[in-house]
Amino acid sequence: MKIILLLISTIVILYIDPSFEVPYAKIENAFNSNDAKTIISFGKDKILLKIIDKEGAYNPTQATLILQDFFTKKSNGHFTYTYKGIENEEGIFCMGSYTVKNEKYKITFHFKKMKTAYQFESLNIIPEKK
């Protein structure tokens, strides 16, 4: 009986990992420091990326270059979340805002629960209309 309880509790502990959550704070810090590499590191192997006029499915290396180009042109902005979604069968959707000088951009992510972590499959950066 003790072995069965031990086995069940081990399975539960491994299955319900408390560190298994969307890395909101790490992504927010990376946006505020214009760290494209760190942001993209939380993405899947193929990322659907839309940044202003560039749109497509990219591998992490390509996505990092495109996001870094955005940060080169729009550096030293401030990022904050405006919505942190609730998990459902589709994943988790979240939204934020990146403000630099007089410009404001709407940022959206769609995360999927993978085997060991949440990874985003899409990232959109779209200018907000004034």
Read off the CATH number of the domain in which 76 is found.
3.10.450.50
Nearest partner of 65 among 43, 45, 36, 44, judged by Cα: 36
| Better-scored residue on pLDDT, 120 or 7 | 120
Is this model's pTM higher than 0.85 or not? no
- Does some domain include residue 98? yes
Residue 123 structural domain? 21-127
pLDDT tens per residue across span 19-30: 578 999 999 999
- Does some domain include residue 9? no
| Better-scored residue on pLDDT, 86 or 49 | 49
Average pLDDT over residues 106-125: 92
- Residues 34 and 69: beta-carbon distance below 8 Å: no
The CA distance from 33 to 38, in Å, is 10
Sheet holding 54-58, edge to edge: 54-58, 43-51, 118-127, 103-113, 92-100, 78-84
At residue 117, the pLDDT reads: 87
pLDDT tens per residue across span 30-69: 999 999 999 999 999 999 999 998 999 999 999 999 999 9
Residue 62 corresponds to which amino acid?
Answer: Q
Q: How many CB atoms lie within 10 A of CB 111?
A: 26
Q: Please give the tally of structural domains in the chain.
A: 1
The CA distance from 95 to 73, in Å, is 21
| Better-scored residue on pLDDT, 9 or 67 | 67
